């Protein structure tokens, strides 16, 4: 019952299976009210662990994702093989001075204090990776604009000796008329392909973004936007030399399809 259904499907007022939700389900179905601690012990015996949920958009279309994986992506792979092109996955992310700093140990009753500047500031980054451990990135300010995206595309083709097939999401900038025009002129160097709508979990570069934010939160809060950018660039440059770590971003189940494209 816990594996196959969610609490709301059983008309319980919970979004996830918490100990309280399981307690209510047992009471509802068997008329027995177990202590919360006992429910936790049962969950542990059954192999359940507390986990942070993965968010999915209601608008996501599973059939469209399956068609993209089985047909469209396989076509990209076949073309890449014929044209000796390199497949990259690209994405953008933002870092804010207000990002949660996480948790840390301290004596009971002595809540730790994290100091940060009162001023709010942020920075942004666009990156691209492949399953062999290649990483390219560019740090910029503000939201992604068409000219910024084109600057990144120019850097990609300048640093590559092969044609690039870049797979990205459906951000409006990626579909801009100016971008399409530029791509037509440079079609021998680079082509853009798009993931299914509302499916960021299918982009390996999303896992790089998660890693970057996790790592930066472990350091003291930056005092200025320039210090934040310096810290981001410093981490990304170190990451560029950690090819094995980059390849592990392709290990998550939703993106394993992208890990062995060279062998297809």
Q: Would you write out the chain's pLDDT as a tens digit for each of its 264 residues?
A: 888 888 888 888 888 899 999 999 999 999 999 999 999 999 999 999 988 776 666 666 889 999 999 999 999 999 999 999 999 999 999 998 876 656 676 788 888 777 777 778 899 999 999 999 999 999 999 999 999 999 999 999 999 999 999 999 999 999 999 999 999 999 999 999 999 998 999 999 999 999 998 888 878 888 899 999 999 999 999 999 999 999 999 999 999 999 865 444
Side-chain half-sphere exposure of 247, counting CA atoms within 13 A: 10
Phi/psi at 198 (nearest 5 deg)? 60, 40
Q: How many Å from the N-terminal Cα to the C-terminal Cα in the chain?
A: 39
The domains found in the chain, sorted by start residue, are 7-45 (no CATH), 62-102+119-263 (3.30.420.10)
183, 191 contact by CB (below 8 A): yes
In 97-216, the DSSP E strands lie at 122-129, 135-140, 164-168, 190-194
User: Can you tell me the distance from the alpha carbon of 7 to that of 13, in angstroms, rounded to the nearest whole number?
Assistant: 7
- Read off the pTM: 0.79
88, 164 contact by CB (below 8 A): yes
User: Can you tell me the distance from the alpha carbon of 242 to that of 244, in angstroms, rounded to the nearest whole number?
Assistant: 6
């Amino acid at each position: 019952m816990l594996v196959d259904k969610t609490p709301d499907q059983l008309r319980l007022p919970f979004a996830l299976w918490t100990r309280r939700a399981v307690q209510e389900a047992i009471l509802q179905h068997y008329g027995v009210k177990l202590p919360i601690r006992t429910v936790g012990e049962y969950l542990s015996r059954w192999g359940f662990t507390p986990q942070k949920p993965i968010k999915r958009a209601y608008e996501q279309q599973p059939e469209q994702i399956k068609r993209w994986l089985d047909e469209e992506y396989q076509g990209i792979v076949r073309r890449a093989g014929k044209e000796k092109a390199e497949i990259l996955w690209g994405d953008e992310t933002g870092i804010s001075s207000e990002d949660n700093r996480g948790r840390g140990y301290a004596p009971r009753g002595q809540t730790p204090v994290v100091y940060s500047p009162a001023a709010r500031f942020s920075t942004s980054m666009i990156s691209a990776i492949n399953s062999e451990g290649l990483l390219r990135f560019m740090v910029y300010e503000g939201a992604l604009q068409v000219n910024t995206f084109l600057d990144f595309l120019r850097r990609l083709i300048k640093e590559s000796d092969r044609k690039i097939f870049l797979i990205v999401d459906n951000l409006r900038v990626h579909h801009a008329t100016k971008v399409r025009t530029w791509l037509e002129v440079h079609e021998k160097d680079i082509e853009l392909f798009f993931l299914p709508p509302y499916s960021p979990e299918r982009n390996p570069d999303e896992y790089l973004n998660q890693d970057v934010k996790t790592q930066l939160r472990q350091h003291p809060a930056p005092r200025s936007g320039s210090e934040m950018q310096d810290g981001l660039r410093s981490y990304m440059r170190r990451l560029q030399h950690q090819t094995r770590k980059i390849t592990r971003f392709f290990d998550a189940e939703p993106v394993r399809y992208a890990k062995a494209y060279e062998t297809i």
